[in-house]
């Protein structure tokens, strides 16, 4: 027997959807008061940005990537992450940097 009630199709959540909802719930739990939809999205964007910046920092400190200041960025103002271009360090450059460090150049001297 058929009914006239509309059938709601089953929706499968992707892993990405599940992760997003977990992040939303985590943001809501961290908040002392309720959050607007835009505030939730801002919190998620900030958290993602911090993860990316932290990963960049780790890769630089491990010698896996290096950075150069973008052309036209003034030396007279404090820099931000957007002021730099990041690139992979070649195996040859890594070896040279290790050799330079072992030869007594401690790397603590600033180039500017």
Q: What is the pLDDT of residues 69-96, one digit of tens each?
A: 999 999 899 999 999 999 999 999 988 8
CB distance 84 to 71 below 8 Å: no
pTM score, two decimals? 0.65
Task: Give the pLDDT mean for 20-34.
Answer: 92
Neighbours of 90 (CB within 10 A): 10
pLDDT, position 103: 66
pLDDT in tens, 47-61: 999 999 999 999 999
pLDDT, position 12: 75
| Residues in CB range of 59: below 8 A, 6 or more apart | 65, 86
Measure the CA–CA gap between 13 and 103, rounded to whole angstroms: 56
CB distance 27 to 44 below 8 Å: yes
| In the block, residue with structure tokens 């739990």 | 29
């Amino acid at each position: 027997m058929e009914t006239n009630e509309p059938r709601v199709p089953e929706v499968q959540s992707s892993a990405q959807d599940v992760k997003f909802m977990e992040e939303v719930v985590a943001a809501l739990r961290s908040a002392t008061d309720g959050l607007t939809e835009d505030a939730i999205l801002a919190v998620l964007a900030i958290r993602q940005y911090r993860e990316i910046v932290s990963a960049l920092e780790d890769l630089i400190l491990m010698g896996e990537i290096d950075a150069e200041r973008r052309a036209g960025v003034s030396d007279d103002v404090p820099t931000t992450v957007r002021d730099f271009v990041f690139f992979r360090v070649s195996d040859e450059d890594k070896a040279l940097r290790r050799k330079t460090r072992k030869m007594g150049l401690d790397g603590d001297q600033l180039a500017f």
